[in-house]
Structure 1
Amino acid sequence: MTKNPMIEEAKKARLKAYTPYSKFKVGAALKTVDGDIYHGCNIENAAYSMCNCAERTALFSAYAQGIHAFESLTVIADTDRPVSPCGACRQVISELCEADMPIVLANLNGDTFLTSPKELLPGAFLSDDLKEE
């Protein structure tokens, strides 16, 4: 069986997670159209609302470097089924990624699910919905 290099990158990112409270580590690997890979991991805080998910960490890291064009996103966690992004991550992915960009959701057992931003959040609220006065 051939290993998917993006799943391997997401696994590396997962190992960087800071999860002293939940112990639930998530990793994300975001591939740019130029082939660069940005890692993201979840980062917890004692003030729980200040936590950040792996998907958003990867996207925010890329955006902070001026990168806005992505080829794919892969997310992995130790779950029974392929890990699913939370609602906040779905919203951010919908706004910052192309609607048809491939997203691979995975778990450590080797299960995967291929989806896209438009499938993760149909009817997403996007910048086009904001009206200028």
Structure 2
Amino acid sequence: MDSLVEAARDALVDAYVPYSEYRVGAALRTADGTVYTGCNVENANYSNTLHAEEVAVAQAVADGHRGFDRIAVSSGVRDGVTPCGMCRQTLAEFATEDLVVVCDDGDGAVTTYTLGDLLPASISESTLTEAADDR
């Protein structure tokens, strides 16, 4: 099994999911090979829930990393979960469209995407700069 997928599976064990009972873990590899993991953390006010991918990105950024090349995502039911739209946009802030996104389908099977496949028209610094220039 892919070691990044295994790290994502390990991370989901710590998920705090009293409402959905849907555990998600993520393992994010930085450009220098360091791996950061995250799990989802639910809140009774659902909009305050933290997604596993966001937690991994936040930990890596807090340690000074700004470039990522691969992320693996796994759920407790091994259903091939992909990062949600919000997480895709968060990833796009720090990674290129070539970021490899590995989704755990279970039984050793994975589906692999690029961030560009999942989010073909992300909002970026250049998007905002162009919009400001057009005013």
* TM-score between both structures, scaled by the size of structure 1: 0.90
Instruction: Answer whether contact 1:18 1:42 (CA < 8 A) is retained.
Output: yes
- Measure, in 1, the Cα distance between the counterparts of 2:83 and 2:58: 15
1:23 to 7, 21, 38: 21
CA offsets, 1:110-131, max 9 Å, x none?
Answer: 3311111111111111111113
* TM-score between both structures, scaled by the size of structure 2: 0.89
Moved over 4 A (4+): none
Q: CA RMSD in A?
A: 1.5
> What's the % identity of the aligned pairs?
37
Partner of 1:121: 119
* Unpaired runs of at least 5, structure 1: none
- The alignment of Structure 1 onto Structure 2 pairs a total of residues equal to 131
SS at match of 1:39: strand
Partner of 1:112: 110
- Residues 1-133 of structure 1 aligned to structure 2 (within 5 Å): 3-79=1-77, 81-131=79-129, 132=132
SS at match of 1:104: strand
* Unpaired runs of at least 5, structure 2: none
CA offsets, 1:37-69, max 9 Å, x none?
Answer: 101110001111100111111011101111112
Q: Which amino acid aligns with 1:98?
A: T
- Measure, in 2, the Cα distance between the counterparts of 1:38 and 1:7: 12
